Chains A and B, each alone.
Chain A
Amino acid sequence: MTALTYAAPHVVATRRRRIAPFKVLSRALIILIVAVQVYPLLWLFMTSLRTETDYTEGNPFALPSALTLENYARAFRVGNLGRNIVNSLVVTLGANVLIVALGMMAAYAITVLGFRFSGVVRALFLLGIVVPVQIALVPLFIDYASVNLLDTYQSMIIPLAAFALPMSVYLFGSFFGYVPREAYEAASLDGAGPYRIFFGITLPLSINTIVTVVLVNSIFIWNDFIFANTFVLSDGLKTIPLGLQNYIGAMGKVDWTATFAAVCVTITPLLLVFLVLNRAVIQGIESGATKG
């Protein structure tokens, strides 16, 4: 930290003179790339405001000739968006808590504490990264049915969390490897046991990694269709991807404009969470609280 403050004025001075064109170029590139990434959402939003005839007959990439909120009205009338969002939030939150807590614990035991068969256990976890989930559906369903776990929040949370666990263990593990040994040894000499070290050193240092793990997993869990479709039966438990099925008509005819209206409504909570979390990471880094 001291080195950083010391060097800072220097950096600013040299950079400003040498790299003005580079800076302009990189800004332009960032804007271009962001435009490519943002475009789909804008397109979705625009399409969700199109009238039915404009949608079927107009150029799908031109600006709408007229705007309407009718698609949103239909999306709310046919679907149960509020309920779906709440369910998705519960599942995403629940799974994330498990993923972070269990992932950190396993990584801590394997990487920091260490034990005789830690290599084998790590390999077991890594195996889970490479298995395609679709294949486990039938056995999973049979297992869950035998313990009456079907059609509950847990029936979505547990497999979602468990299948994300290997990646979480891996990310935490490689991060824990960065923490200098001396930090642990010093604490140990001060008489701290494994529990105090976990809560006193490892946990606070891991905020950044936690946020990354949560961000990555939230995306997959928020959009999960396959587990939800397999394990949920009642309407009251349907998550957003299942709710989007409400806009499918006879023989698979999709009401696309209503679907897009629903998509626009349902990604809003996730985006808000992202903005807040991203800010947290950056503040964490800038305050020098984390490294890694």
Chain B
Amino acid sequence: MLPRRSRLSVLVFLVPPLAVYGIAVLFPILQSLFLSFFQWDGTTAPKAIGVANYARMLGGDSVFWHAFGNNLLYVAISIVIQIGSALIVANLLLTLTRGHAVVKTLYLLPAVISTVAIAFLFQRIYSVQPEGLLNQLLQAVGLGHLQQPWLSNISTVLTAVSIPEGWRFTGLYMLILHAAFLAVPAELEEAARLDGASRWQVFRLIRFPYIRPVWITTLIMAMTYDLRGFDIPYLLTNGGPGQSSELLTTYMYKTAFTSTDYGYASAISVFIVVECLVAVGLIFLVLRRRDQS
């Protein structure tokens, strides 16, 4: 706490953001959480049904649980791609003496392009007719027997929709990690190097621990964004074939705007919120335990 702060100064800084946030985010969210105890189709008066939506969701809805399982795999794949390649590239960039700005901008490109175009590109990459890039490449390297309709095969589709999501936003996380790496004091690294530390050891013992708080931030960002991933699967497969690539978010969206079952959709979104909170909690728990050991 600053010694010379006044109650007024706290209010001056806190009230505007909290007001905007409270009115534009918290209030509508509370309203929709509230809706999860109702049955409401958007036109007739809402009917209070207690926890029936939750009972239906947790008890008997097989699509919901299918989507939940899909979501976990989807997040796992996206995170590995995002954070893994972000870490590698952020490090590699440190070895460049010039051209950071250009490489960083180029690396961000996929995030800038509109989702509609990205989805279409991947539809083309995975397609069979006209023969997509992936199937062409497999043919070219003599793996023609592996060719298949990646987005129509129920056992490959989930991986196929996770990859674009991971690939697309890795640039953002790289940007954040790279900024953190730049802040690692050069003298720390140099001292370690003089002691004969290898490149890997410098990374593992100096650089990485130094940026750990940023790394955790990035991990949480990626995790919560991916748990709410929506548009690529929605546009590429709309959850299909069957429910093979249905995520909780696409299921929630369909429940709200196709089935106009806003109460049940709210219950699903409450679940998504809880799921995100649990994920964040787990990250902290695991990392704290490691700190203690």
Contacts and interface: CB of A to CB of B under 8 A. Distances in A.
Interface centre among B17, B89, B117, B256 (most CB of A within 10 A): B17
A129 B131 CA distance: 40
Interface centre among A112, A132, A184, A244 (most CB of B within 10 A): A132
B186 A194 contact: no
Given A128-B26, A158-B20, 13 more contacts: A26-B95, A40-B110, A41-B109, A60-B124, A106-B13, A130-B277, A165-B25, A170-B217, A193-B4, A223-B112, A267-B114, A279-B101, A292-B179
Contact of A59 (B105, B112, B131): B131
Contacts of A143: 27-28, 31
Contact of A109 (B14, B179, B213): B14
B179 A281 contact: yes
Contacts of A34: 103, 106-107
Interface of A: 3-4, 7, 10-11, 14, 19, 22-23, 26-27, 29-30, 33-34, 36-38, 40-41, 43-44, 59-61, 98, 102-103, 105-106, 108-110, 112-115, 121, 124-140, 143, 158-159, 161-163, 165-167, 169-171, 174, 177-178, 184-185, 188, 192-195, 197-198, 208, 212, 215-216, 219, 222-223, 225, 240-241, 244, 256, 259-260, 263, 266-267, 270-271, 274-275, 278-279, 281-282, 285, 291-292
Nearest to A14: B193
Given A10-B190, A167-B221, A192-B4, A113 B113 contact: no
A194 B14 CA distance: 13
B24 interface: yes
A166 B20 CA distance: 11
Main secondary structure of the interface of A (DSSP, over half): helix
A256 B136 contact: no
Contacts of B18: 106, 121, 124
Interface of B: 1-6, 9-10, 12-14, 16-18, 20-21, 23-29, 31-32, 35, 42, 85, 88-89, 92-93, 95-96, 100-118, 120-121, 124, 130-133, 136, 167, 171-172, 175-176, 179, 182-183, 185-187, 190, 193, 199, 213-214, 217, 220-221, 224, 227-228, 230-231, 249, 252-253, 256, 262, 265-266, 269, 272-273, 276-277, 280
B21 A105 contact: no
A40 B20 contact: no
6 contacts: A27-B96, A40-B121, A60-B132, A113-B10, A130-B224, A282-B101
A67 to B, nearest CB: 19
B182 A225 contact: no
Contacts of A27: 95-96
Given A59-B131, A132-B230, A194-B9, A184 B2 contact: yes
Nearest to A130: B276
A197 B4 CA distance: 10
A109 B111 CA distance: 32
A7 B10 contact: no
Interface centre among B1, B18, B31, B172 (most CB of A within 10 A): B18
A212 B176 contact: yes
B172 A263 contact: no
A212 B105 contact: no
B212 to A, nearest CB: 11
Given A7-B186, A139-B28, A219-B111, A162 B13 contact: no
A33 B95 CA distance: 15
A194 B187 contact: no
B276 A208 contact: no
Given A114-B2, A212-B175, A275-B101, A11 B10 contact: no
Contacts of A4: 186-187
A162 B21 contact: yes
Contact of A113 (B5, B92, B115, B190): B5
**Complex A-B, nearest 5 residue pairs according to Cβ-Cβ distance, in ascending order:** A130-B276, A162-B24, A114-B1, A135-B269, A102-B17
A285 B108 contact: no
A60 B253 CA distance: 32
A192 B9 CA distance: 13
Nearest to A184: B2
A271 B106 CA distance: 9
Nearest to B19: A102
A219 B224 CA distance: 17
A170 B277 CA distance: 15
A241 B235 CA distance: 14
A132 B272 contact: yes
A133 to B, nearest CB: 8
Contact of B93 (A30, A174, A177): A30
